[in-house]
């Protein structure tokens, strides 16, 4: 049976992935778990990925961070990705599948992984399933972060990120120093209003269908009410993963 952590209706996350009754194939949630985070821009995937990785002692993989690091370093990957990212479009699937396979082949991925924004299209979900299948592994759970659209816009418009560690922050200004003392805080190019509108539209059109794809493939899909303090949301997620 599909699950839900707390109320929340009429919001982007539930709108795009309405909860339905479906049988859930039982999967391992012991060490080695692969957890997929889905949710619209600003839903808190990056914030929670860091908290969950720390709480569960497993690495996180964030394709957005990998791509932004490549842009900053001026690599061929970064140059190709930048023109898609800045206007709020998705980077082509083959680029993402390469990053995904590379991350899964790292030794620490044997302990499991939190996949933050790694899967955003049905071909990417299929590619991940194939890559994991070749390693004798599977997705343990898909967490769908549910936040009302006006709250997403509010969060994104107040966000700055560290140019080095990429940690998102609110209540600070561009040019301030990252509280972790590693770099300057900047605004993301794709946080400008036009790009944000495009990213929300792309989420509904291309990423929301991934939720149903997982349901129809018997993977455990858990909607998470992602409104509340970051620690409250983390505790809801950890509770859901234990069940
Ligand atoms: P990515 O960087 O992953 O962007 P996104 O998915 O649009 O998500 P965001 O980073 O905007 O938000 P988030 O959900 O992580 O929220 P956050 O924790 O920062 O990807 C960027 C681009 O890369 C894509 O548009 C695409 O071009 C490309 N890309 C990446 N992966 C791809 C793929 N698989 N396929 C194709 N292209 C790909 O939180 C937001 C703000 O809210 C922060 O300021 C934070 O401090 C604050 N906050 C967090 N939680 C809370 C809370 N509980 N309460 C209040 N404030 C909160």
Selecting among 68, 82, 155, 199, the annotated active-site residue is 199
> Which residues contact ligand 1 via a Cβ below 6 A?
39, 41-47, 63-64, 67, 84-85, 88-91, 96, 117-118, 120, 124, 155, 159, 168-170, 190, 199, 228-230, 233
Ranges of the chain whose pLDDT falls below 70? 1-31
Q: Cβ neighbours of residue 21 under 8 Å, at least 6 residues apart?
A: 1, 2
Q: What are the structural domain ranges in the chain?
A: 31-147+194-242
Parallel/antiparallel/unpaired status of strands 168-170 and 159-162:
antiparallel
155 is catalytic: no
45 is catalytic: yes
Contact 146, 225 (CB under 8 A): yes
Residue nearest to atom 12 of ligand 1 (CA): 42
Q: Which of 46, 77, 194 to mutate to test the pocket of ligand 1 (most atoms within 8 A of CB)?
A: 46
Task: Report the pLDDT value the prediction gives residue 32, as an integer from 0 to 100.
Answer: 87
Residue nearest to atom 30 of ligand 1 (CA): 64
Task: Report the pLDDT value the prediction gives residue 29, as an integer from 0 to 100.
Answer: 42
Contact 226, 13 (CB under 8 A): yes
Task: Report the pLDDT value the prediction gives residue 155, as an integer from 0 to 100.
Answer: 95
Task: Report the pLDDT value the prediction gives residue 36, as an integer from 0 to 100.
Answer: 98
Selecting among 45, 155, 215, 236, the annotated active-site residue is 45
HEC profile of the chain: CCCCCCCCCCCHHHHHCCCCCCCCCCCCCCCCCEEEEECCCCCCHHHHHHHHHHHHCCCEEEHHHHHHHHHHHCCHHHHHHHHHHHCCCCCCHHHHHHHHHHHHCCHHHHHCEEEECCCCCHHHHHHHHHHHHHCCCCCCEEEEEECCHHHHHHHHHCEEEECCCCCEEECCCCCCECCCCCCEEECCHHHCHHHHHHHHHHHHHHHHHHHHHHHHCCCCEEEEECCCCHHHHHHHHHHHHHC
User: Which atom of ligand 1 has the smallest separation from the CA of 89?
Assistant: 27
Task: Report the pLDDT value the prediction gives residue 27, as an integer from 0 to 100.
Answer: 40
Span from the CA of 106 to the centroid of ligand 1 (angstroms): 23
Residue nearest to atom 17 of ligand 1 (CA): 44
120 is catalytic: yes
What CATH topology corresponds to 31-147+194-242? Rossmann fold (3.40.50)
- In the numeric block, the tokens 């040019």 are attached to 175
**Distance between CA atoms of residues 88 and 148, nearest Å:** 19
Residue 31's closest CA among 103, 144, 113, 142?
113
188 is catalytic: yes
137 is catalytic: no
């Amino acid at each position: 049976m599909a699950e839900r952590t707390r109320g929340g209706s009429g919001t982007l996350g539930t709108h795009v992935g309405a909860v339905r009754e479906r049988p859930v194939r039982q999967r391992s949630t012991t060490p080695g778990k692969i957890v997929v985070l889905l949710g619209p821009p600003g839903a808190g995937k990056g914030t929670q990925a860091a908290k969950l990785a720390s709480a569960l002692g497993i690495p996180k993989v964030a394709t957005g961070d990998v791509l932004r690091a490549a842009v900053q370093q001026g690599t061929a990957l970064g140059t190709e990705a930048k023109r898609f990212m800045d206007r709020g479009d998705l980077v082509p699937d083959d680029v993402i599948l390469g990053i995904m396979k590379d991350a899964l082949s790292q030794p620490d991925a044997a302990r499991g992984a939190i996949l933050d924004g790694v899967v955003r299209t049905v071909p990417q979900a299929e590619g991940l399933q194939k890559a994991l299948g070749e390693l004798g592994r599977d997705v343990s759970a898909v967490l769908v972060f549910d936040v009302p659209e006006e709250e997403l816009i509010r969060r994104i418009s107040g966000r700055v990120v560290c140019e080095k560690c990429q940690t998102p922050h609110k209540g600070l200004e561009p040019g301030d120093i990252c509280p972790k003392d590693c770099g300057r805080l900047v605004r993301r190019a794709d946080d400008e209003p036009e790009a944000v509108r495009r990213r929300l539209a792309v989420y509904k059109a291309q990423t929301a269908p991934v939720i149903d794809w997982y349901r129809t493939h018997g993977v455990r899909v858990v909607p998470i009410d992602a409104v509340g303090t970051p620690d409250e949301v983390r505790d809801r997620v950890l509770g859901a993963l234990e069940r």
